[in-house]
Amino acid sequence: MTQLKLRKQFFPRAISDIAAFTFLIFMLPFCYWFEVFVVLPTRHAPGITFWYSLYIVWFTFLLISIVSNLTYIILTDCSIRGEVMPSTLVPPWKFCDLCQCVTPPRSWHCEVCKVCILKRDHHCHFSGCCIGHNNQRFFFMFLIYMTIATVHTTILNACFVIERESLSIWLIIKILFPLAVFTLGMDASFEDNGNI
């Protein structure tokens, strides 16, 4: 197993990166707190019950998985710094004028990070760094865990709002997908049923 290179600058540089990173850092614990201490007690009786304990473990697992993968994304260096590159230019290798070195195929120079990134995918504003060869697997797992957490909490929050506000499911569909409801002609059926 290869050892990961650590980045020298961990914190975001651009204003947009700082804003997105700050938003993510504050929203992750807030969403965890909201789901565990506001939504979950309305769905399951608080205390030492099986379902309540299972949900606490599940939400904690998701939070730890998301934060640990985000940490690895931020700490892992994907740049050409410290890499031994050949001094001769042989196709498909190219010369980066900004870094003043020969770079391998699929590497690109990032204007924000100010360095060439190996197997560069994109610059992630939420992590404040480029996604490349060494941290792509952590980014992929971060996206998977974020998707699972988002879908799960969206379902729980929809049930929470429906129960608290006594809304019908059709009204929520109409609010969330107005264009689809209008395009499919379902708007008239809602009015006929008195669900508005």
* Catalytic site positions: 124
Cα radius of gyration rounded to whole Å, the chain: 23
What phi and psi values does residue 2 have, to the nearest 5 degrees?
-80, 150
> Measured between alpha carbons, how far is 180 from 172 in angstroms, rounded to an integer?
13
Check residue 106 and give left, alpha or beta (phi > 0: left; psi -120 to 50: alpha). left
11 neighbors 113 (Cβ within 8 angstroms): no
Question: For the residues of 115-139, what is the DSSP string, one character each?
Answer: EEETT--EEETTTTEEE-TTTHHHH
